[in-house]
């Protein structure tokens, strides 16, 4: 029988690690990038094509799914995997972050967060226990604890109170998760380190979580406006304190160079809407930096976006065509550019994994940063 959850680190290079998380629905190669499938779909992509880019795991949003089509309905329909036709692992967030960022009239208490649905105004209470129940109904493979994402900036007092609340919720998440024995026998639960930009608070959060015990540990409360320099600074003091044998997940990150820097600091998992959202607004990613496909310079350009890329946008179409589609507001433009961006992100992860395995991450990262900063698509 396949392990419920097993993380094998096969190589390290400095603080960076590469390996495989084994789960019943499939292996997850790390460092891993998880495309975001907010409402039960990675926007503008068929799931088999997401898989073909190299994705081992998707992220789903509890907040969106609980409101529509609802967790109970997805459960009745056989779970999220069957619903959206993805049979590999799925990680879901707890809903906490999006309740705070997407709703109004919300009321926080020790118990949880009360808010009104942005769809129909219904009053809803989200608690650690309810978040665990929803993620169980969805059939999630990696469940995230319910926490409060501490805003930035926050004073040390505010960050402390917020972190301590999240740690009490982490315990309630653990208890709630464990109470669903059938699901707990197949799924994993991750804790989320909070504490803002304060070293002491981050350490206390890590200690509290490891005391409870989780399958993996996420770093929360970053990529919320603090900037790359501050984010790396927080990782610099946080990562050495994290449990070594468990996966480390940097939530909501990020730009390609954010990912490279975070991998160098020991992060194993990432998720971000950037490749998919950018794909719908005309931004493409390349190893020579992001490129705005709306720009008139592409009008007559017969070359592919990147001749080295294996995605259909690059193997079958010109920059001129992608430019035309984006300018004309054609759905195919969003489809092709999303596909390209997901391929770019997965290729970056493949490159990082190989570099770590071969012990040359510093050279890989240095070259990546130099190229990426050029911002010169004509060099492709």
Binding residues for a second copy, rule: CB under 8 A, are 39-41, 43-46, 68-69, 73, 76-78, 83-85, 280, 299-300, 302, 312, 316-318, 320-321, 324-325, 327-328, 330-332, 334-335
The token pair that represents 81 in the structure block: 């995997």
Q: Which two tokens stand for residue 250?
A: 């940097």
Pick the catalytic residue: 27, 56, 93, 147? 93
Smallest separation (angstroms) from a second copy to the CB of 316: 5
Q: How far apart are CA 299 and CA 250, in angstroms?
A: 38
Give the shortest CB-41-to-a second copy separation in angstroms. Answer: 4
Q: Which one, of 15, 65, 49, 24, lies nearest residue 242 by Cα?
A: 15
For the stretch 155-186, what's the b/e string if a residue is b when 16 or more beta carbons lie within 10 angstroms of its beta carbon?
A: eeeebbebbbbbbebbbbbbebbeebeebbee
CB of 135 to a second copy, least distance (A): 18
Nearer to a second copy, 181 or 296 (CB): 296
Cα dihedral value 208, 212, 215, 220, nearest 10: -30
How far apart are CB 331 and a second copy at their closest, in Å?
4
Please tell me which residue in 13, 56, 271, 306 is annotated as part of the active site: 271
Does 87 participate in catalysis according to the annotation? no
200 is catalytic: no
Q: Kindly give the pairing relationship between strand 283-286 and strand 248-250.
A: unpaired
Instruction: Choose among 336, 327, 270, 276: nearest CA to 305.
Output: 336
Q: How far is the CB of 282 from a second copy (least distance, A)?
A: 15
Nearer CB in complex with a second copy: 316/370: 316
Give whichever of 331 and 362 is closer to a second copy, judged by the CB atom.
331
Least Å distance between CB 266 and a second copy? 35
The sign of the CA dihedral 218, 223, 224, 229 is positive
The helix/strand/coil state of 227 is: helix
Q: Give the CA count within 13 Å in the CB-facing half-sphere of 303.
A: 12
Nearer to a second copy, 68 or 363 (CB): 68
Cα–Cα distance, 17 to 19 (Å, whole number): 7
DSSP state of 141: S
Do 106 and 99 form a contact (C-beta atoms < 8 A)?
A: yes
Least CB distance to a second copy at residue 51 (A): 13
* Contacts of 331 by beta carbon, 8 Å cutoff, 6+ apart: 44
45 versus 206: smaller Cβ distance to a second copy: 45
Closer Cβ to a second copy, 30 or 92, answer by number? 92
Contact present, 60 and 138 (Cβ < 8 Å):
yes
233 or 324, CB closer to a second copy?
324
Cα 69 from chain centroid? 22
Give me the active site residues, please.
Answer: 93, 271
């Amino acid at each position: 029988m396949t392990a419920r959850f097993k993380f094998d680190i096969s190589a390290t290079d400095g603080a960076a690690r590469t390996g495989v998380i084994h789960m019943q629905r499939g292996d997850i190669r790390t460092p891993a990038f998880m495309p975001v499938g907010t409402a039960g779909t990675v926007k503008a992509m068929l799931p088999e094509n997401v898989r073909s880019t190299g994705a081992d795991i998707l992220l789903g949003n509890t907040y969106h799914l609980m409101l529509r089509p609802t967790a109970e309905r997805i459960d009745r329909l056989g779970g999220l995997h069957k619903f959206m036709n993805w049979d590999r692992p799925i990680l879901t967030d707890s809903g906490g972050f999006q309740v705070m960022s997407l709703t109004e009239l919300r009321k926080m208490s020790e118990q949880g967060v009360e808010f009104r649905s942005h769809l129909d105004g219904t009053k809803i209470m989200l608690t650690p226990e309810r978040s665990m129940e929803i993620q169980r109904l969805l059939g999630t493979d990696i469940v995230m604890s319910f926490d409060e994402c501490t805003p930035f900036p926050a004073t040390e007092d505010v960050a402390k109170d917020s972190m301590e609340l999240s740690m009490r919720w982490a315990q309630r998440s653990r208890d709630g998760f464990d109470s669903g024995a059938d699901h707990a026998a197949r799924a994993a639960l991750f804790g989320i380190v909070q504490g803002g930009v304060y070293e002491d608070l981050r350490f206390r959060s890590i200690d509290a979580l490891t005391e409870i015990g989780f399958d993996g540990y996420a770093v929360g409360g970053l990529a919320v406006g603090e900037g790359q320099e501050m984010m790396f600074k927080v990782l610099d003091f946080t990562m050495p304190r994290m449990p070594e044998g468990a996966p480390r997940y940097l939530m909501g990150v990020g730009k390609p160079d954010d990912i490279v820097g975070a991998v160098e600091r020991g992060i194993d998992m990432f998720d971000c809407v950037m490749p998919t959202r950018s794909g719908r607004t005309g931004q493409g990613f390349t190893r020579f930096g992001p490129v705005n496909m709306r720009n008139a310079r592409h009008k007559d350009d017969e070359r592919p976006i990147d001749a080295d890329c294996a995605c259909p946008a690059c193997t079958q179409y010109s920059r001129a065509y992608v430019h035309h589609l984006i300018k004309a507001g054609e759905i195919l433009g969003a489809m092709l550019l999303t596909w390209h961006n997901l391929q770019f992100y997965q290729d970056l992860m493949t490159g990082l994994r190989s570099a770590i395995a071969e012990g040359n991450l510093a050279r890989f990262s240095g070259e990546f940063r130099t190229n990426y900063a050029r911002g010169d698509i004509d060099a492709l």
